[in-house]
Structure 1
């Protein structure tokens, strides 16, 4: 059984990425599971090459620093030759209508003056990510479920038309994880690509900056520390973060906290402690580029080996090898 998960380096990893996914991968990952930095996915809109390169290395170091086994992690572009070859075969299996109706394509292209072709064909690359290593399960949220369905459709179509080559993957809903909201605007998710970073806590930020951001966190005028998400979204967000760090329920976490100031201080302390070791291990890796390169090369080699036989079979069945 192989599960496949990815994180796109569209910005610095933030608290929501860590509590909502990365920490779970480190705790629950099985020996055959794969986790990758999807740097090629970050190219579908305008980007800076140097920044993308730096963010990819940083994200790889964070995954390792969070406790994910190094042999389970790789960077997508390190197996670009395999993925590009498979993507072409799958593009010749896919129809224009299938990718054009993808919700994310419609949302991101709406109103844009120019749209990169990669934004349209990106779901086929994602299908290649999934199908190349033979992933059985892909944990995704609602926003990515449609892409996994496309991977399933392409796998079945190729298997039926040319011969059995692909495992047909299943989209699975991950366990309920912390849904971290922006500290400055609790109506939106905390996101690594947000331009206004006031309400975003980044994994590698120092303790003083993290504390200042929580001190400025939006609450309300009710003055009551209770878990009421609909009535007090800012307070509820802080309690959910505290809950994720301490293992308590948000309601239990609220008990004994008498003021918003105390709440913010308590949450800041919990987050700083939660990220302390991750930050230290990540910084150590980033300070040792030779070791990070070694880990990266080992992960790429393992990922390439996982897909080598399947890609050879696909090319043979497709008539081009």
Structure 2
């Protein structure tokens, strides 16, 4: 397949994958296998921008890989790997550190949110995180990246880095006989009714593993009973479901639950409202709970089976890393020539 038909995406192994990770990313990865050459990466190098317990990092890395496979990603037809096993990610990230500008990094919203008032004491890696993300994508010259709403700014920076590299080294790119657009201007793939899943306790906050309330999120390893109870106890308002999406405005919790139902059925929010218009939460929540259990419980069962067999997961990651390294080294051989490294 041509490089512009290649898709790359990664998930950070921060532990406790939840419904937001599944609907916002993993579920959307699966159908892309039918139309694209896919590389799905557990980005463990990104994880250590803040300190990680080494044993916990290994456990979380395997959990993400298990989620990929349990959700339906085929690691033989496509590539599933962890970032740290492909050393070219770090090599290209350094080149991009020398292309990107500090001002670009300082403007990144996620850096400001994570650093807060403590920006002088966070790791350099946290500041340079978007440069490594650009390297992840452009190392494979991916034409498309499935991203959530909160990652759009990082992808815009990836595009800026690609354009600046192409401009800065235009003469060398031409002298080496490469396409002037050496690194592609990668396009985002943002689709679906629920690209941003919110807390079950507060519809104005993103679903997160850091929320102190376990009831705020559905873990991908929750059993059927937990899934059902959490949805039935989710925060709502007293009004019935409206007949159209305009009626969801200003109703954050209602909008979130309708969006979850829509995403689980690959439908639109309007489709869901056509089915449940005028219904109360006593009708809708049990229907959503049954649907969530139907979709998520088999994934949780398969994840647990895989997690109990770490040697199999490690073999998948090792095989994926070997195949990814072949693609990565091809790009880096060209990059070394372009920037003037002797080899």
Given the two structures, how large is their TM-score scaled by the length of structure 1? 0.90
Equivalent position to 2:153, from 140, 143, 146: 146
**2:73 & 2:50 partners in 1: Cα distance?**
29
1:18 match: 22
- Give 1:184 shift: 0.8
Equivalent position to 1:172, from 179, 188, 191: 188
Equivalent position to 1:275, from 283, 296, 317: 296
Segment of structure 1 superposing worse, 94-103 or 118-127? 94-103
- Give 1:43 shift: 1.9
Segment of structure 1 superposing worse, 200-209 or 229-238? 229-238
**CA distance change for structure 1 residues 94 and 242 in 2, over 3 Å: closer, same or farther?**
closer
**1:40 & 1:65 partners in 2: Cα distance?**
23
2:338 match: 317
When the two chains are superposed, the root-mean-square deviation of aligned CA atoms in Å is 2.2
**CA distance change for structure 1 residues 190 and 315 in 2, over 3 Å: closer, same or farther?**
same
SS at match of 2:37: coil
Question: Does 2:219 align with 1:198?
Answer: no
Ranges in structure 2 where 5+ consecutive residues have no aligned partner: none
Segment of structure 1 superposing worse, 60-69 or 85-94? 85-94
SS at match of 1:33: strand
1:108 match: 114
- Give 1:284 shift: 2.1
- Give 1:255 shift: 4.6
**1:46 & 1:266 partners in 2: Cα distance?**
41
**1:151 & 1:233 partners in 2: Cα distance?**
31
SS at match of 1:172: strand
* Cα deviation code 1:94-124 (max 9, x no counterpart): 3322322323223322312621111111111
**2:209 & 2:185 partners in 1: Cα distance?**
28
Ranges in structure 1 where 5+ consecutive residues have no aligned partner: none
**CA distance change for structure 1 residues 96 and 260 in 2, over 3 Å: closer, same or farther?**
closer
**2:102 & 2:259 partners in 1: Cα distance?**
42
2:231 match: 214
* Cα deviation code 1:243-282 (max 9, x no counterpart): 322345220241584x423322221111000112222222
2:131 match: 124
**2:116 & 2:152 partners in 1: Cα distance?**
21
SS at match of 2:236: coil
- How many residue pairs match? The answer is 318
Question: Does 2:108 align with 1:91?
Answer: no
- Give 1:67 shift: 0.6
**Contact 1:183 1:190 (8 Å CA) reproduced:** yes
**Contact 2:9 2:137 (8 Å CA) reproduced:** no
Given the two structures, how large is their TM-score scaled by the length of structure 2? 0.84
